[in-house]
Amino acid sequence: MKPGYEIVWNNCLNVIKDNIPQISFKTWFEPIVPLKIESDVLTIQVPSAFFYEYLEEHFIDLLRSTIRRELGHSAKLEYSVVVDNPHQKNQQPLTQRLPSNNRTDLRNRPVSMQMNSEKPVVKNPFVIPGIKKLNVDPQLNSDYTFENHIEGECNRLARSAGMAVAKNPGKTAFNPLFLYGNSGLGKTHLAQAIGIDVKKYFPEKTVLYVNANKFQTQFTESVRNNTQNDFLNFYQMIDVLIIDDVQEFAGKEKTQNTFFHIFNHLHQMGKQLILTADKAPVEMKGMEDRLLSRFKWGLSADVHIPDYDTRVAILKHKLYKDGINSIGGDVIEYIASNISQNIRELEGALISLLAQATLNKKEITREVAMSIVDKLVKKTQKELSVDYIQQIVCDYFGLAVDSLQSKTRKREIVQARQVAMYFSKSLTNSSLSAIGSKIGKKDHATVLHACKTVNNLIETDKDFKNQMQEIEAQIKM
Ligand SMILES: Nc1ncnc2c1ncn2[C@@H]1O[C@H](COP(=O)(O)OP(=O)(O)OP(=O)(O)O)[C@@H](O)[C@H]1O
């Protein structure tokens, strides 16, 4: 008696596993389900038409030899391709069988086997009519070009790698290109500039920018609507995929798993991936190791805070672009020297200034700039968190942050706790009870007492006052 199809397929897998990289095996062979053997025809189920094409293109020789080894020289292979039936929600996916005259005859296989009839429909989760490849809207902001992106020491590597990628997507060593850095420093702008240039140089390429949150929502919806195949198929046909803020995937295992497959697929097909995050891969938390290791395959380039000259150049460029020439150099210098941490805030200050000046019909002088920028800078300070203050205070006194939570009455810890409470009250909007509950689980009266004690000490002890000034400067830095 001949062995059953499951045993045959398992034997094939054992051989295949030894002959291809583990990643390829997991990606391309683990999802296959053997269905039957009839008259020496082994039927295997694959998750998508693309999958089938990929197997045919890359693994047919290996498949041929292993299946022939198991079933003899008259062995044939047939695929059953899973397609979703869009009209029947919540039902098992249908399978589209290859017509019998297209069976892969392993003795005399045609050079390229086609699924001759229509391919399974690939739905576009962005709901763009006409799901053909060319119709995918890249979701790019036309302002985010390289021309509108000012080069500085802070972004030189990321920018030049981005330009290289745009000229040769998927063909450089920078795949994925992983751009990271703090908020408002231009990661999205840069990632989109690459997409815009790819479309300029290669209009036929499918480019897609998507924020990690949107990707996650689409994925969840596809699970709910039983259209995961469409979701996967859609993303697997993109030539340049830009995912912004990938740190948002942290802790979302299923989304990570799906993204992992999309990543592998695109990477193996020589497609370009561009990812942005607020941290370097080594510092990311809540992400699967296998995904993090892939993030490190290409180039990780950070963008950091721009220096003064770059900030001035950015402001001048914005004004030039908007056709405004009524702002003097002293005003630009004032903004650039006072807002240094975030380019979005730099732009925000400029916009507020222009708006106020127009509304109040005021000339934009250095004094007007000062009043607006000072408000913005103060607002930023108020957004400091209690946790951050505790960290700075503990660093200053050489204590572990945990020590503030302990019940100990040791003098240096009690004092550090009081200092942290004092600065939390004066530099954040948190209430006394919110501060107390965060710092050592104390009540509002304890916080009030701490503030009074610190105030008294500042007035009576010069050394203590100096220390407080140093700590405050560090918090505000
Ligand atoms: N080098 C630059 N030249 C000109 N404008 C810039 C530059 N870098 C950033 N910007 C502008 O600053 C603003 C914020 O940039 P962007 O949204 O790309 O930051 P981000 O790092 O992606 O922030 P987040 O992590 O918060 O999403 C945008 O309007 C962008 O055009």
| 375 plus 457 within the same structural domain | no
Taking only the tens place, the pLDDT of each residue in 292-349 is 999 988 999 999 989 889 999 999 999 988 888 878 888 898 888 888 888 998 888 8
| 223 plus 334 within the same structural domain | no
Average pLDDT over residues 111-125: 33
For residue 26, the domain's CATH number is 3.30.300.180
Q: Residue 151 is part of which domain span?
A: 146-302
Q: Both tokens of residue 52?
A: 């089938």
Q: Both tokens of residue 339?
A: 């807002």
| 12 plus 75 within the same structural domain | yes
CA of 188 to the centre of ligand 1 (A): 6
Choosing from 150, 185, 194, 339 the residue with most ligand 1 atoms within 8 A of its CB, the one to mutate for a pocket test is 185
| 236 plus 195 within the same structural domain | yes
Instruction: Give ipTM to 2 decimals.
Output: 0.99
- Please indicate whether residue 150, judged by its CB atom, sits closer than 6 Å to ligand 1: yes
| 152 plus 254 within the same structural domain | yes
| 154 plus 282 within the same structural domain | yes
The dihedral region occupied by 130, where left means phi > 0, alpha psi between -120 and 50, and beta the remainder, is left
CA of 332 to the centre of ligand 1 (A): 18
| 296 plus 150 within the same structural domain | yes
For residue 320, the domain's CATH number is 1.10.8.60
- Please indicate whether residue 344, judged by its CB atom, sits closer than 6 Å to ligand 1: yes
- Please indicate whether residue 189, judged by its CB atom, sits closer than 6 Å to ligand 1: yes
Give a yes or no: residue 18 inside a domain: yes
- Please indicate whether residue 187, judged by its CB atom, sits closer than 6 Å to ligand 1: yes
Count of domains for the chain? 4
| Cα-based distances in Å from 373 to 72, 185, 308, 358, 370 | 80, 19, 16, 16, 5
Instruction: Say if residues 189 and 144 touch (Cβ distance below 8 Å).
Output: yes
Looking at residue 2, what is its pLDDT? 67
- Please indicate whether residue 301, judged by its CB atom, sits closer than 6 Å to ligand 1: no
Looking at residue 199, what is its pLDDT? 95
Give a yes or no: residue 455 inside a domain: yes
Choosing from 140, 276, 343, 347 the residue with most ligand 1 atoms within 8 A of its CB, the one to mutate for a pocket test is 343
Average pLDDT over residues 188-207: 96
| 298 plus 314 within the same structural domain | no
Average pLDDT over residues 200-222: 94
| 407 plus 354 within the same structural domain | no
Average pLDDT over residues 14-25: 82
- How does residue 177 score in pLDDT terms, banded at 50, 70 and 90? very high
Residue with CA nearest ligand 1 atom 23: 184
Taking only the tens place, the pLDDT of each residue in 141-164 is 999 999 999 999 899 999 999 999
Q: Is 186 annotated as a binding residue?
A: yes
Q: Is 329 annotated as a binding residue?
A: no
Q: What is the DSSP string of 236-249?
A: HT-SEEEEE-GGGG
| 290 plus 312 within the same structural domain | no
Of the candidates 355, 379, 403, which is a domain's last residue?
379
Q: State what percent of residues in the chain have pLDDT above 90.
A: 47
